[in-house]
């Protein structure tokens, strides 16, 4: 068991290194091989433990920044924040544990079946992780290829799930070939694994060729789109000052100056980050005028994040929203989007009275309510699909925005909570894939970075550094023409993987039942 656990730990570390900020993406193609060897011939119970250990190592290395957020910005002591991070890592690792259970149980399955079953299992469990208990699809395996332009193009059909499936399939094919050469019992039975490896290699080639063709097609189509000059601002407001009323005027002055610079550079639409306005627009006339006059003075549209609220006098109930407001060049409010996927323990606190120490993480805001749906903000006859903060890691939200008429995606976020950690790089990489899935430009405005422009082929055209005051501008195309397969049908590939996985699980259960001695 000790050797198996060593291999599991190695696999977790290799997988973590394949993700940003290390970004050693070639490791993704081999990172699971040690885990697969550790699971070969293991009992199902041991398989779960092996997978759990590998997953725990990966997630501790991947989401360690939770400690930064809680300790440095939430004021939560280390003796609480470190165990909370470890608990989160352990919960997420359970998905890898179930993967290990399945792989170990499937050791006796025909090799051709395993070549499909193992990727289907991994993809299905990633999809479940993205949806169970509000979902947390952070650092899915496919995101290791987010900046590999030729490979990432296939997501306009399969979504990110297709890349995860392909990576695991390559790992599985390599494992089966190596196992056929090093395992005494399998020497001489190498035809099937070698054939499987060749089929897998052919599939990779198909994905590469598809990517090369699609990049040329997308570039050609996008060249004909109507152009809009857009600016993304980055105020780099310190989180300790952000919700302090004493610094409100200073914060708005910073964004007014960035707006002036953006207007000088010809921007028609100027984007401010999530909650760049640290108060309720419309609640105070003088404070609101300081924001709306920025649009009026520049003669430009401003899209800004700001908290919002509604009050029902009948029930005396106030609802708070994390919102994006569009202000037109005359200084009037032209539209609003309310965030629909809230961050647990970030924007609302389940069991707040039992966990009072987490209140600091939502200082100045309180509990948010969900908005009515992924509805684009109307803009000059088209629509802006807004993704607030980590909504950008949920591909179905971006797809729904484009289905509902968005011509451009805009991600506004405040990643100051992450500090100088790997999280801003991970968040940026995941957000960029939304542009490719839906073949639309993505504009990203982040309080402390990374702000960027991503074209429909996934190229990061411009970007900022972390923790700098900056404004960047670009001419972006407003998408037109047919929607992508992924936009229209969203996660159909993931559902197919889950159907395959369910079928293999059913087959294993039947085989186990058939082996039981009759009474």
484 lies in some domain: no
241 annotated active-site: no
User: Of residues 274, 287, 391, 407, which has the active-site annotation?
Assistant: 274
Same domain, yes or no: 213 and 234: no
Same domain, yes or no: 54 and 75: yes
pLDDT of residue 185: 56
What is the number of structural domains in the chain? 2
Same domain, yes or no: 293 and 428: yes
Same domain, yes or no: 216 and 230: no
Coil, strand or helix at 176: helix
Phi-psi map region of 244: left, alpha, beta (phi>0 left; psi -120 to 50 alpha): beta
Find the domain containing 397 and state its range.
226-479
User: Of residues 389, 391, 396, 407, which has the active-site annotation?
Assistant: 389
274 annotated active-site: yes
Same domain, yes or no: 265 and 184: no
Same domain, yes or no: 181 and 116: yes
pLDDT of residue 365: 43
Structure tokens that stand for 447 in this block:
């309080």
400 lies in some domain: yes
Half-sphere exposure at residue 96, Cβ-oriented, CA atoms within 13 angstroms: 28
496 lies in some domain: yes
485 lies in some domain: no
Report how far residue 504's alpha carbon sits from residue 52's, in angstroms, rounded to the nearest whole number: 21
Same domain, yes or no: 433 and 405: yes
pLDDT of residue 203: 97
Query: Which regions of 264-300 does DSSP assign to beta strands (E)?
Result: 269-271
pLDDT of residue 14: 98
Contact (CB, 8 A) for 58 and 16: yes
Same domain, yes or no: 75 and 149: yes
Q: List helix spans (H) across 106-190.
A: 111-129, 149-152, 155-158, 160-182
User: Of residues 339, 347, 407, 463, which has the active-site annotation?
Assistant: 339
pLDDT of residue 467: 95
296 annotated active-site: no
Same domain, yes or no: 447 and 510: no
Same domain, yes or no: 382 and 407: yes
Same domain, yes or no: 400 and 438: yes
Structure tokens that stand for 192 in this block:
């099937």
486 lies in some domain: no
Instruction: Specify the DSSP class assigned to residue 55.
Output: H
Per-position DSSP letters for 405-448, written without gaps between them: T-SEEEEEE-GGGG-SSSHHHHHHHHHHHHHHHHT--EEEEESS
347 lies in some domain: yes
Strands of 377-379's sheet, edge to edge? 377-379, 382-388, 408-413, 442-446, 452-454, 460-463
265 lies in some domain: yes
* Residues sharing a CB contact under 8 Å with residue 130, sequence separation 6 or more, in sequence order: 136, 137, 140, 394
pLDDT of residue 516: 64
Instruction: Per-residue pLDDT tens, the chain, 519 aa: give them.
Output: 889 999 999 999 999 999 988 999 999 999 999 999 999 988 889 999 999 999 999 999 999 999 988 887 777 888 888 999 999 999 999 999 999 999 999 988 888 899 999 999 999 999 999 999 889 999 999 999 999 999 999 999 999 999 999 999 999 999 999 988 887 655 556 777 888 899 999 999 999 999 999 999 999 999 999 999 999 999 999 888 888 888 898 999 999 999 999 999 999 999 999 999 999 988 888 889 999 999 999 999 999 999 998 877 777 788 899 999 999 999 999 999 999 988 876 666 665 666 565 555 545 445 888 889 899 999 988 899 999 999 999 999 999 999 999 999 999 999 988 888 999 999 999 999 999 999 999 999 999 989 999 999 999 999 999 999 999 999 999 999 999 999 999 999 999 999 999 999 998 888 777 666 554
Report how far residue 476's alpha carbon sits from residue 454's, in angstroms, rounded to the nearest whole number: 9
Same domain, yes or no: 206 and 237: no
């Amino acid at each position: 068991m000790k050797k198996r656990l060593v291999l599991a730990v190695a696999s977790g570390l290799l997988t973590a290194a394949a993700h940003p900020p290390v970004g050693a993406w070639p490791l993704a193609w081999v990172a699971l091989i040690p885990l697969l060897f550790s699971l070969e011939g293991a009992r199902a119970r041991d398989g779960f433990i092996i997978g759990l250990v590998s997953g725990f190592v990966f997630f501790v290395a991947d989401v360690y920044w939770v400690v930064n957020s809680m300790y440095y910005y939430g004021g939560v002591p280390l003796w609480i924040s470190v165990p909370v991070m470890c608990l989160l890592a352990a919960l997420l690792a359970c998905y890898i544990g179930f993967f290990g259970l399945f792989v170990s149980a499937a050791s006796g399955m025909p090799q051709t079946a395993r070549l499909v079953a193992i990727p289907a299992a991994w993809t299905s469990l990633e999809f479940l992780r993205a949806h169970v208990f509000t979902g947390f699809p952070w650092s899915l395996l496919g995101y290791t290829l987010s900046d590999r332009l030729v490979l990432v193009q296939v997501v306009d059909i399969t979504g990110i799930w297709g890349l995860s499936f392909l990576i695991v399939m390559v790992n599985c094919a390599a494992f089966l070939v190596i196992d056929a050469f090093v395992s005494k019992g399998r020497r001489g039975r190498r035809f099937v694994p070698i054939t499987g490896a060749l089929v897998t290699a052919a599939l990779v080639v198909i994905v590469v060729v598809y990517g090369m063709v699609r990049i040329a097609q997308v570039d050609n189509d996008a060249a004909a789109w109507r152009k809009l000059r857009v600016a993304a601002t980055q105020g780099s407001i310190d989180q300790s000052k952000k919700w302090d009323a004493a610094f409100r005027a200073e914060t708005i002055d910073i964004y007014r100056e960035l707006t002036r610079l953006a207007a000088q550079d010809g921007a028609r639409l100027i984007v401010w980050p999530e909650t760049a306005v640290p108060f309720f627009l419309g609640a105070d006339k003088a404070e609101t005028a300081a924001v709306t006059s920025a649009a009026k003075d520049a003669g430009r549209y401003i899209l800004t994040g700001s908290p919002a609220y509604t009050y029902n006098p009948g029930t005396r109930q106030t609802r708070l929203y994390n919102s994006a407001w569009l202000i037109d060049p005359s200084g009037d409010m032209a539209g609003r989007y309310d965030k629909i996927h809230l961050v647990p323990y970030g924007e609302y606190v389940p069991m707040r009275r039992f966990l009072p120490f987490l209140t600091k993480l939502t200082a100045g805001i309180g509990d948010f309510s969900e908005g009515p749906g992924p509805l684009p903000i109307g803009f000059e006859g088209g629509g802006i699909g807004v993704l607030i903060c980590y909504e950008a890691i949920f591909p179905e939200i971006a797809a729904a925005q484009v289905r509902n008429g968005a011509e451009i995606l805009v991600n506004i976020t405040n990643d100051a909570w992450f500090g100088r950690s790997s999280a801003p790089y991970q968040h940026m990489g995941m957000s960029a894939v939304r542009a490719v899935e839906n073949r639309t430009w993505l504009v990203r405005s982040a309080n402390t970075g990374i702000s960027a422009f991503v074209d429909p082929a996934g190229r990061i055209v411009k970007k900022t550094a972390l923790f700098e005051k900056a404004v960047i501008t670009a001419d972006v195309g407003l998408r037109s023409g047919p929607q992508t397969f992924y936009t229209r049908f969203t996660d159909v590939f993931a559902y197919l993987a889950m159907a395959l996985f369910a079928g293999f699980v059913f087959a294993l259960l039947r085989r186990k039942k058939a082996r039981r001695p009759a009474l």
